[in-house]
Amino acid sequence: MSEFANMSPAEVRAIIRRNEWTKPTSGMAKGFTQANLAILRKDIAFDFLLFCQRNPKPCPVLDVTEAGSPVPRLVAPTADIRTDIPKYRIYRQGELVDEVTDILHYWEDDMVAFLIGCSFTFEHPLMNSGIPVRHIEENCNVAMYKTNIPCVKAGRFEGPVVVSMRPIPEKDVVRAVQITSRFPSVHGAPIHIGNPAGIGIKDIDKPDFGDRVTIKPGEVPVFWACGVTPQAVAMQIKPELMITHAPGHMFITDVQDEKFSVL
C-alpha cells in the first residue's frame, strides 16, 4: 500500500481503471479526499438529495453529477465515475445482485451520481498525530456496523445510520475527536464512543460491512457516521436500481483534504 500513498489521484484512478487494483483504497493518494458513491435514476434523485441534506453526518454531499453524465466536475473533472472505483455493488429491489469492477454495462442515460464524504479522508491527520489506524496497520477494510440510530426520512428514503469503527487508545480519544471535528464534510466528530450496545451493535467482532479489526487492551471503540448508510437504506426501501461503491472501495477525488477542514 505504501507505494500508492504518494501517487496523485489521477495516477491511482488510472491504475483502478485498468483493473490493476481491486482492493480497499484506505491510505492511497495521501492528502486527497476520498468519497462514497450512490447512483440512482433521476426520478428519485431529488428525494435522495433531500435525504442527504437532512442527514449530513452520514451523507455529506461533495458532488452531484448532471443526469446522464459520469463526470464529477466539481471534485475530479477528468474522472469517469463508471470505471474509477475498484469495486461497485449493484442493488435491485434492495437485494445485492452483483459486485463488479466497472459499471459501463449498468449505466443509463438518466442516472445521477452522488459523491459523499468518506472518513478515510481524516485518517492521515490522525496518523500524523501519532494515533494508530488499525485497519491500515492490519491491511484490511475498516469495520462498519448498522446501528439503531434512525436517519431522518426524506420522501421514500429512510433507514439506519451506519458507522465505521476505529479502536483508539484511551489517552488519544479526546485528540481524535478534536482532529476529526475539523472535517465536517467527511463525517466530522464521532457520534458514539465506547459501549457498542449503546447504539445497537450486538457483536463488535461481527461487522455488517468490511472486516473485523483488533481492539487492544487500553483501547476504546470509537464510531463515526459512515457513507455506507445509503446501502443500508437501499436494503430497507428497495429501489428498483441503486449502484454504490463496495464498502471501503472509494472514489479518490482531486481535492486536497485540507480544503474540507474548518480550522
pTM for this structure?
0.89
Whether 33 and 75 have beta carbons less than 8 Å apart is answered as yes
Residue with cell 479502536: 167
The Cα 51–Cα 61 span in angstroms is: 10
The Cα 60–Cα 204 span in angstroms is: 25
Whole-number CA gyration radius for the chain: 17
Residue with cell 458514539: 192
pLDDT tens digits, one per residue of 137-179: 998 999 999 999 999 999 999 999 999 999 999 999 999 999 9
pLDDT tens digits, one per residue of 209-255: 999 999 999 999 999 999 899 989 988 999 999 999 998 899 999 99
Q: Where are the alpha helices (DSSP H) in the chain?
A: 2-5, 9-17, 42-54, 123-128, 134-137, 173-181, 229-237
**Which three three-digit cell numbers place residue 24?**
480497499
Q: How far is C-alpha 262 from the chain's CA centre?
A: 20
In the chain, the percentage of residues whose pLDDT exceeds 90 is: 84
Whether 203 and 145 have beta carbons less than 8 Å apart is answered as no
Torsion angles phi and psi, residue 260, rounded to 5? -105, 5
